[in-house]
A and B are shown apart, each in its own frame.
Chain A
Amino acid sequence: MDTIRGWLPYILLFPLMGMLINGILGNYFSKKWIHRIAIAAVLIPFVIMTTLFFSLQSLPEESRSVIVHIASWIEVGYLKISFSLLLDQLSAIMVMIITGIGTLIHIYSVGYMHKDSSYSRYFTYLNLFIFAMLMLVLGSNILMMFIGWEGVGLASYLLIGFYFQEDSKASAGKKAFITNRVGDFAFLIGIFILLFVVGSLDFAEIREASNTGVITGVVATIITLMFFIGATGKSAQIPLYVWLPDAMAGPTPVSALIHAATMVTAGIYMISRLHFLFILSPFTMSIIAIIGALTAFFAATIALVQTDIKKVLAYSTVSQLGYMFLAVGVGAFPAAMLHLVTHAFFKATLFLGAGSVIHAMSDEQDIMNMGGLKDKIKTTHKTFLFATIAITGVLPFSGFISKDEILWRAFATGNGVISNLPILLWIVGIITAMLTSFYMWRLYFLVFHSGQTRHQDERVIAHIHESPLSMRLALWILAGLSIVGGYIALPHFIAHSAPIIHSFQNWLDPYFSTSIENTKIVHSASMEAIFMFVSWGLALFSFFWAKKWYFKEKSITSTMWANSFKTVYNILQKKYYVDEFYYWLIDIFIIKFSHKILWRTVDFVLIDGFLIRGIIGWGTYITGRVLSIFQNGNLQFYVITMVAAIMAIFYWMIW
Chain B
Amino acid sequence: MFDLLSLVVFFPLLGVIFMFFIPKENYQVLRNSTLFVTILHFIFTLVLLFMFQEGNPYYQFEINKAWIPSLGISYHIAIDGISLFLVVMTSFLMPIVILSSYKAVTSKVKEYMIFMLILETAMIGALVSLDFILFYLFWEMMLIPMYFLIGIFGGNDRVYATVKFFIYTMAGSVFMLVAIFYLYFASGGVSFDLTYILSNFEGSSTVQGVLFLAFFVAFAIKVPMFPFHTWLPDAHVQAPTGGSVILAGVLLKMGTYGFIRFAIPLFPDVAYKYAFWIALLAVIGIVYGALVALVQKDVKKLVAYSSVSHLGFVVLGIFAFTTTSVTGSIYQMLNHGVSTGALFLLVGILYERRHTKQIADFGGLSSVIPKFAIFFMLALLSSIALPLTNGFVGEFLILSGSFSSSWLKNGQLLTIIATSGVILGAGYMLWMYQRVMFGPIRHEENKKIKDLSLREFIYLFPLMALVFVMGIFPNFFLKKIEPSVNYYLSSFYEKNGKSNRADLAQARVNSTNLKNSKFNGVVE
Contact = CB atoms under 8 A, between A and B. Distances in A.
B381 interface: yes
A612 interface: yes
B387 A165 contact: no
Contacts of A191: 400
B440 A181 contact: no
B495 to A, nearest CB: 20
B430 A178 contact: yes
Contact of B475 (A75, A164, A188): A75
Interface in A59-110: 72-79
B155 interface: no
B400 A79 contact: yes
Given A164-B439, A607-B227, A196 B404 contact: yes
B238 interface: no
Contacts of A147: 387-388
B400 A170 contact: no
Interface in B426-440: 426-427, 430-431, 434, 437-440
Contacts of A603: 230, 292
Contact of B295 (A78, A199, A599): A599
B434 A76 contact: no
B423 A185 contact: yes
Contacts of B440: 165-167
A608 interface: yes
B322 interface: yes
Main secondary structure of the interface of B (DSSP, over half): helix
Contacts of A591: 294-295
Nearest to A175: B430
B366 interface: yes
A78 B518 contact: yes
B324 A77 contact: yes
B115 interface: no
Contacts of A76: 323-324, 327-328, 397, 478, 482
A508 interface: no
A166 B440 CA distance: 6
A196 B412 CA distance: 10
A193 interface: yes
Interface in A141-198: 143, 146-147, 150-151, 154, 157, 161, 164-167, 170-171, 174, 177-178, 181-182, 184-185, 188-189, 191-193, 195-196
Given A594-B291, A598-B288, A193 B438 contact: no
Contacts of A166: 439-440
Give the residue among A76, A164, A174 with the most B Cβ atoms within 10 A: A76
B179 interface: no
A150 B425 CA distance: 14
B422 A188 contact: yes
B377 to A, nearest CB: 8
Contacts of B475: 72-75
B396 to A, nearest CB: 7
Interface stretch (B6-14, B198-206, B351-359, B413-421): B413-421
Nearest to A170: B438
A595 B416 contact: no
Nearest to B403: A192
Given A76-B397, A192-B400, A154 B381 contact: yes
Nearest to A600: B295
Given A73-B474, A167-B440, A590-B291, A177 B430 contact: yes
B227 A611 contact: yes
Interface in B501-524: 517-520, 522
Given A77-B322, A192-B400, A192-B404, A164 B227 contact: no
Contact of B426 (A73, A75, A178): A178
A594 B294 contact: yes
Given A151-B387, A594-B294, A74 B474 contact: yes
Contacts of A590: 291, 294, 427
A170 B439 contact: yes
A621 interface: no
A584 interface: no
Contact of A74 (B430, B478, B518, B519): B478
Interface in A274-322: none
B295 A181 contact: no
A606 B400 CA distance: 34
B438 A199 contact: no
The residue in B327, B419, B426, B518 that gathers the most chain A C-beta atoms within 10 A of its C-beta is B426
Given A185-B420, A593-B291, A75 B230 contact: no
B314 interface: no
Contacts of A606: 227
B295 A77 contact: no
A136 B336 CA distance: 27
Contacts of A154: 381, 386
Interface string A386-417: 00000000000000000000000000000000
Contacts of B381: 154
A143 B474 CA distance: 14
Contacts, number: 141
B448 interface: no
Contacts of B294: 590-591, 594
A77 B485 CA distance: 10
Nearest to A194: B400
A268 B387 CA distance: 21
Interface in A580-624: 590-591, 593-595, 598-599, 602-603, 606-608, 611-612
A196 B291 contact: no
Interface in A190-249: 191-193, 195-196, 199
B15 interface: no
Contacts of B334: none
Interface in B447-496: 472, 474-475, 478-479, 482, 486
Contact of A192 (B367, B388, B399): B399
Interface string B390-411: 0001001101100110000000
A170 B426 CA distance: 14
A193 B323 contact: no
B249 interface: no
- Candidate in B295, B322, B388, B399 with the most chain A CB atoms within 10 angstroms: B295
Contacts of A593: 291
Contacts of B399: 188, 192
B479 A188 contact: no
A151 B366 CA distance: 21
Nearest to B374: A23
Contacts of B422: 181, 184-185, 188
A174 B478 contact: no
Contacts of A150: 386-387
A146 B434 CA distance: 25
A74 B393 contact: yes
Nearest to B387: A147
A594 B431 contact: no
B482 A77 contact: yes
A73 B415 CA distance: 23
A141 to B, nearest CB: 12
Given A178-B430, A185-B420, A599-B295, A167 B387 contact: no
Given A174-B431, A184-B422, 7 more contacts: A76-B482, A78-B324, A143-B387, A171-B434, A178-B430, A189-B416, A602-B227
13 contacts: A73-B472, A78-B324, A78-B517, A78-B518, A166-B440, A174-B430, A185-B422, A192-B399, A192-B419, A590-B291, A594-B291, A598-B288, A603-B292
Interface of A: 72-79, 143, 146-147, 150-151, 154, 157, 161, 164-167, 170-171, 174, 177-178, 181-182, 184-185, 188-189, 191-193, 195-196, 199, 590-591, 593-595, 598-599, 602-603, 606-608, 611-612
Q: Which 6 A-B pairs have the closest CB atoms?
A: A170-B438, A77-B323, A594-B291, A192-B403, A595-B295, A147-B387
Interface of B: 227, 230, 288, 291-292, 294-296, 322-324, 327-328, 364, 366-367, 381, 386-388, 393, 396-397, 399-400, 403-404, 415-416, 419-420, 422-423, 426-427, 430-431, 434, 437-440, 472, 474-475, 478-479, 482, 486, 517-520, 522
